[in-house]
Amino acid sequence: MTTQQLDSIPKAHLDLGVTGMTCTSCASRVQRKLNKLDGVDASVNFSTETASVDYNPETTDRDALVQVVRDAGYDAFAMNANDDAVAQDTDDAGDQAAGFSAVDKAREEEQAKLKRTVIWSAILTVPIVALSMIPALQFTYWQWAVFTLTTLVYVVAGAPFHRATLTNLRHGGVTMDTLISLGTTAAYVWSVWALFIGNAGEPGMTMEMHPFDWGGHAGDHGMDEIYLETVAVVITFLLLGRWFETKAKGRSSQALRDLASMGAKEAAVIRDGQEVRIPASRIAVGDRFVVRPGEKIATDGTVISGASSVDNSMITGESVPVEVTEGDHVTGATVNQTGRLIVEATRVGADTTLSRMSELVRQAQAGQAPVERLVDRISRVFVPAVIVISLITLGAHLALGHETTTAFSAAVAVLIIACPCALGLATPTAILVGTGRGAQMGLLIKGPEILESTRKVDTIVLDKTGTVTSGTMAVDAIEPAAGFSADDVLRLAASVEVDSEHPIARAIVTEASTKGLSLIDGQAFTSTPGHGVQATVDGKEIIVGRNAHESLADTIAGFERDGATAVAVSIDGEPAGVISVRDTIKPTSGQAIEEFRSLGLTPYLLTGDNAGAATWAARQVGIDENNVMASVMPEDKVTVVEKLQAEGKTVAMVGDGVNDAAALATADLGLAMGSGTDVAIEASDITLMGGDLQSAASAIRLSRSTLRIIKGNLFWAFAYNVLLIPVAASGLLNPMFAGIAMAFSSVFVVTNSLRLNRFK
């Protein structure tokens, strides 16, 4: 089969839980091994301990993928299997929740094991350090007691580092574990040599340890010195750091697990007129199900009967409940609060809003930002380079005539202090926490590379209808003719329009209802396209439409110059007044424009509507009228975005409709309203589930905050290595303290990333 034929076969998707990875270099190795298979496109995330794999089912099966991971020295298990054959019978969110439960279980087992190891290792390390530091405690054969305790720590507690090193060496690679294992092994072997062959094992030997000293100990006694306290402290503190990292990874991926598990478990489906409770995963499109107050809505659907308020906060991040009635769309996993609803399912399984949200977040967390790929490349070169630096350090000290203990201590300190664990954790932990926090707020960032785009954006182009405005018509003004009141005009017009579904008619009827006006039953209702509607109301012929009496022409023209739609109302051929209707501005749009400006973005309004409507909307929210582009056809929206880009601007586009999709894809950063069309959402980089323009500003702020955290992490990780490697190489840093510093640098990076959980 040719490559072209292979590429034409639809790919299946598999999520794997991967255990045994100890650093990002391990994740990179597993990823490279998987991608060597024909037709496989894999991304392995160390922070989530998962692999996202797209594969060709004609050439590769799931068992083969798992075996590749095992052959690389790690273990793996299938979290889900979203190929076509499985997806038909599988609830994607439930399947994903089960997969995360498996990962959580493996992580919890690892945490428990690490905790036990850290505790007993620390209990042994305390007397090891005390005896090594304090000569007054050093009894006749103290060194042999220290040797016995340290051997337990080195062999048993240090086994994960040694095992990983051997596995990596078998595959011709070196990782951060290699530096740890080499450093502790060198210190342990030196001590064994000094004890059994040198003079360190003699009765009555005493030793004093200093944190900053040539050779790490007072005096130059050659084979009298041992480094067992270094071995114990380095292993114990690194295990402690790894335990903190494991706990932090569980916390940072909590949002994704919450998404995967928040759906309803059961639904009361109507079958043959009876309510039958079935698992929510078995609901089919077209099924009708009952949702009582306090229950979760089982899947996406349309309200067939009933009215209620629905808490959408878990999907949109908005705390205010939304009123729904017949014909309104509702989203699975949201909570029905007040009334009984009957809902007809329109989306199920992997097509639901909840499943798509989970998938978008998973993709974002599984991917790699450009800066992270750079760090991975640096790490692959960095580890061998450090080993070379350590050897050069050893040779340089010996060449300068320093004692062997001094040279050896400096070389070991270089190995330990240079371990780039913090460097490898700097980016993925921040991405994990940032995208997870975004999901909690209803902000779905599709991929980590989006973070770079938000940093560069300086121009934001906004669609008008459905983005800046609500897309819902409302009465803006009423101008009655002489002898009539505004309420008279509105009551008569609403009495005629009450049975019409036209947006203008709905706006008039809604306004009358809001004002508490009682409507009059009409008769002989007729509608003439392009002219309006008429009916007999209370014995009078009422006409509502565009054909106005000459005396109302100026009033209508004035409203329309301002971008409104105006209709005339006449009674028995005599003018009664004019009603102005226009799209309504979303309550937070003006504040969103202010936030865009505070972020350094210049707002533009782009719409297919007429110039009057566009200018009015721009004035309402504070957009410069010179930055308004009206009467733009859908195909021309792309041209507008490209023109701005050609002027040197980095453009973000916010839209919600099918006609915005091409422009969203063309922009440097596309943001789609979650209340908009699927096409727009698929074409965008960030989805705003709340449908609120202000959330676009929040998405940009969150992305930029995440990028700042990443840069801060990288700075401290690089600064730590750059500053302390020369100190260690000069022999001024005891290997034990090098290990402590290295462990705490990793904990700092993870803790710094977790600050994003407080983003608001």
Long-range (24+ apart) CB contacts under 8 A made by 522-528 are 522/495, 522/496, 522/498, 525/496, 525/499, 527/500
CA-based max dimension of the chain: 122
Are 569 and 578 in contact by the 8 Å Cβ rule? The answer is yes
| Token pair 């340890």 in the structure block, residue | 209
3-state SS, residue 103: helix
The alpha-carbon radius of gyration of the chain (Å, integer) is 34
Q: Which residues pair with 310 in a beta bridge?
A: 322, 336
Using CA atoms, how far residue 263 sits from 55, 93, 280, 311, 429, in Å, is: 28, 7, 8, 14, 26
Are 263 and 98 in contact by the 8 Å Cβ rule? The answer is no
* Cα distance between the two ends of the chain: 53
Strand spans (E) along 157-295: 266-271, 274-279, 288-291
Which residues lie below 8 Å from residue 682, measured CB to CB, with a gap of 6+?
Answer: 661
Report how far residue 116's alpha carbon sits from residue 356's, in angstroms, rounded to the nearest whole number: 39
Confirm whether 583 is a catalytic residue.
no
Report how far residue 230's alpha carbon sits from residue 132's, in angstroms, rounded to the nearest whole number: 10
Tell which residue, 362, 349, 342, has the closest CA to residue 299: 349
Host H or E run for residue 477: strand 469-480
- Catalytic residue, chosen from 463, 476, 583, 668, is 463
Secondary structure (DSSP) of 656-722? -SGGGHHHHHHSSEEEEETTS-HHHHHH-SEEETT--HHHHHHHHHHHHHHHHHHHHHHHHHHHHHH
85 residue type, one letter: A
Q: How many CB atoms lie within 10 A of CB 410?
A: 26
| Token pair 């973000």 in the structure block, residue | 652
Using CA atoms, how far residue 25 sits from 29, 323, 565, 736, 742, in Å, is: 6, 51, 63, 24, 17
Residue 575, CB-side half-sphere exposure with 13 Å CA sphere = 20
Supply the DSSP symbol for 211.
S
350 residue type, one letter: A
Secondary structure (DSSP) of 281-321? GG--TT-EEEE-TTPBP-SSEEEEE--EEEE-HHHH---S-
Phi and psi, residue 309, nearest 5°: -110, 140
The sign of the CA dihedral 624, 629, 634, 637 is negative
Are 523 and 594 in contact by the 8 Å Cβ rule? The answer is no
User: Catalytic positions, please?
Assistant: 463
